[in-house]
């Protein structure tokens, strides 16, 4: 424990450097704007700004990009409360009671509770990250190729199990991602695969064009400007403070949301969305006045907003400790680290302590910055919402092209982005979630390498995955999840995932 605090002290010495503080602030500011603006999610925000970080060192780059991620969770609540439009998907539940509070003249109080809840949950998440990630990384050093193969299989199955769409749909999308990940030169044999004599495809398909296309451009194609209208309620600064009763009503939902969100954040899938949905359900169950939900219940704002922030921090644990992306956003962050020559995973803590602990410490500081940004400056952010969408989306398309082109100076990447944008549009039409595709693409090289190495190690014996204890446990959990999903399918019972799908469909519509 003492060594953890020593290391954290090292992290703060990095995080408090003026240049690092500046990039953390920049990330938080951009993240808040990304969260506020409907149609631009944290993934597209991070992907678009990824090339801007090339000139920075790895520490500043990852601190800025992570700031965009958790900053967007704060910003997402603003549009939900003031316009009943979720700035991003994890704020869907906040729309219900947040907007109802705003209609009652309590917009300021709702924003304050959302910001304070987000800060408490975010800080709780960072404390847990500080305590859990290093021992988990030490444990992961025992992993060989069979364990990594089993872990990646479990990750995919877990993602499919947690997904709001059905298991075959999620696994189908993951398979498409895995297939896209095989494009390019095979690292073990040097064979060109599916490159069709296009030299740029020799290096494979990058995650940035795929992610920006599917999530950024795809979202714009699916959102006609006529559909983005809304009345903005502008809160007054003096109305920002909640009453004593509102504080009391929000205390326990914030605490429950923080714990629930962090635990869900550790698992693969759209954790920040799922956590806010579950938190809302839990608060309604615990409430003495469940009839108030939907009509401006304080707990309906405090719980989900805390949960989605804690989940976004929780997602950093497997990313930093195992090098395992639990969603497309952490996948892009992993790509950002790799671009700077820093391999994420168990060795990160020991090989690059300044990056690891600087990143962790910056999140303590970043959460404070966000609290300061999101309360007094809420009026300024609200003004951004007055920019007509017809002027905004051409700008976003331009930034998508700039971002993708800057990665490799390759126009082929921009064409890939455009193709992925069209694919993303059609995937939405057929209710297919693009997130597993991105995840499949990211893990594909590691999965293929570890699978082939395992088979070579065992001289072609598949039983190697059942003979090593850690791999056996991981495969066992994956099998149990598959069985649970199969039972749900056979019984044709609508569980919480089906309800989540309904909420997401409602958002889309």
Question: For binding to another protein (CB under 8 A), which residues are involved?
Answer: 51-52, 54-55, 166, 168-169, 171-172, 175-176, 178-179, 182, 186, 188-189, 191, 193-194, 217, 220-225, 227, 390-391, 393-395, 397-398, 401-402, 405-406, 409, 411, 414-415, 418, 421-422, 425, 429-432, 444, 447-448, 451-452, 455-456, 459-462, 489
Output the smallest distance, CB 455 to another protein, in A.
6
Instruction: Please identify, using beta-carbon distances, which residue of 147 and 219 lies nearer to another protein.
Output: 219
Instruction: Please identify, using beta-carbon distances, which residue of 37 and 96 lies nearer to another protein.
Output: 37
Cα–Cα distance for residue pair 210/215, rounded to 1 Å: 8
Instruction: Please identify, using beta-carbon distances, which residue of 105 and 224 lies nearer to another protein.
Output: 224
CB 324 within 8 A of CB 155: yes
SS3 assignment, position 184: strand
In sequence order, the β-bridge partners of residue 184 are 193
Cα–Cα distance for residue pair 33/370, rounded to 1 Å: 11
SS3 assignment, position 16: coil
Output the smallest distance, CB 196 to another protein, in A.
9
Output the smallest distance, CB 162 to another protein, in A.
17
Instruction: Please identify, using beta-carbon distances, which residue of 290 and 394 lies nearer to another protein.
Output: 394
Side-chain-facing half-sphere of 340: CA atoms under 13 Å: 23
Instruction: Please identify, using beta-carbon distances, which residue of 17 and 452 lies nearer to another protein.
Output: 452
* Alpha helix ranges (H) inside 388-434: 389-408, 411-429
Instruction: Please identify, using beta-carbon distances, which residue of 271 and 437 lies nearer to another protein.
Output: 437
Output the smallest distance, CB 498 to another protein, in A.
11
Cα–Cα distance for residue pair 123/389, rounded to 1 Å: 34
Q: Is 101 exposed, middle or buried (0-12, 13-18, 19+ CB in 10 A)?
A: buried
Instruction: Please identify, using beta-carbon distances, which residue of 244 and 492 lies nearer to another protein.
Output: 492
Output the smallest distance, CB 499 to another protein, in A.
16
CB 283 within 8 A of CB 294: no
Output the smallest distance, CB 394 to another protein, in A.
4
In sequence order, the β-bridge partners of residue 185 are 192
Q: Among all chains, which residue has been given the structure tokens 């962790």?
A: 360
Output the smallest distance, CB 29 to another protein, in A.
15
Cα–Cα distance for residue pair 453/441, rounded to 1 Å: 19
CB 448 within 8 A of CB 182: yes
């Amino acid at each position: 424990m003492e060594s953890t605090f020593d290391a954290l002290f090292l992290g703060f010495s990095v995080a408090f450097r003026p240049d690092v503080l500046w990039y953390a602030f920049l990330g938080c500011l951009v993240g808040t704007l990304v969260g506020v603006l409907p149609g631009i999610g944290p993934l597209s925000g991070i992907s678009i700004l990824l090339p801007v970080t090339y000139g920075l060192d790895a520490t500043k780059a990852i601190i800025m990009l992570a700031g965009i991620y958790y900053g967007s969770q704060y910003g997402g609540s603003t549009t939900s409360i003031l316009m009943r439009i979720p700035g991003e998907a994890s704020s869907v539940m906040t729309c219900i009671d947040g907007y109802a509070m705003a209609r009652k003249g309590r917009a300021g109080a709702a924003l304050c509770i959302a910001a304070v809840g987000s800060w408490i949950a975010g800080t709780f998440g960072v404390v847990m990250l500080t305590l859990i990630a290093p021992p988990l990384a030490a444990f992961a050093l025992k992993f060989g190729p069979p364990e990594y193969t089993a872990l990646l299989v479990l990750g995919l199955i877990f993602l499919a199990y947690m997904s709001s769409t059905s298991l075959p749909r999620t696994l189908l999308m993951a398979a498409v991602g895995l297939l896209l990940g095989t494009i390019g030169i095979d690292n073990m044999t040097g064979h060109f695969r599916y490159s069709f004599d296009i030299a740029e495809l020799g290096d494979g398909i990058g995650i940035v064009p795929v992610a920006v296309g599917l999530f950024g451009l795809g979202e714009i194609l699916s959102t006609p400007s006529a559909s983005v209208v809304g009345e903005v309620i502008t809160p007054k600064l003096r109305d920002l403070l909640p009453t004593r009763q509102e504080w009391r009503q929000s205390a326990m939902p914030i605490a429950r949301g923080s714990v629930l969100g962090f635990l869900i954040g550790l698992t693969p899938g759209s954790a920040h969305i799922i956590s806010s949905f579950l938190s809302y359900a839990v608060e309604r169950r615990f409430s003495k006045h469940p009839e108030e939900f939907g009509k401006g219940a304080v707990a309906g704002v405090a719980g989900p907003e805390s949960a989605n922030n804690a989940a976004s921090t929780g997602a950093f644990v497997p990313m930093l400790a195992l090098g395992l992306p639990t969603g497309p956003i952490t996948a892009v962050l992993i790509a950002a680290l790799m671009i700077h020559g820093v391999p994420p995973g168990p060795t990160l803590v020991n090989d690059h302590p300044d990056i690891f602990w600087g990143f962790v410490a910056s999140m303590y500081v970043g959460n404070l910055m966000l609290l300061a940004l999101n309360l007094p400056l809420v009026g300024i952010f609200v003004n951004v919402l007055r920019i007509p969408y017809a002027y905004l989306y051409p700008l976003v398309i331009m930034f998508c092209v700039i971002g993708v082109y800057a990665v490799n100076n390759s126009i082929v990447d921009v064409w890939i982005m455009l193709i992925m944008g069209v694919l993303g549009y059609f995937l939405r039409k057929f209710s297919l979630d693009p997130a597993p595709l991105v995840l499949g693409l990211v893990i594909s090289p590691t999965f293929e390498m570890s699978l082939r190495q395992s088979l070579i190690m065992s001289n072609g014996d598949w039983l190697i995955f059942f003979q090593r204890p850690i791999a056996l446990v991981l495969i066992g959990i994956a099998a149990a999840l598959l069985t649970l999903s199969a039972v749900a399918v056979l019984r044709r019972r609508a569980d919480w995932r089906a309800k989540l799908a309904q909420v997401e469909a409602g958002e889309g519509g």
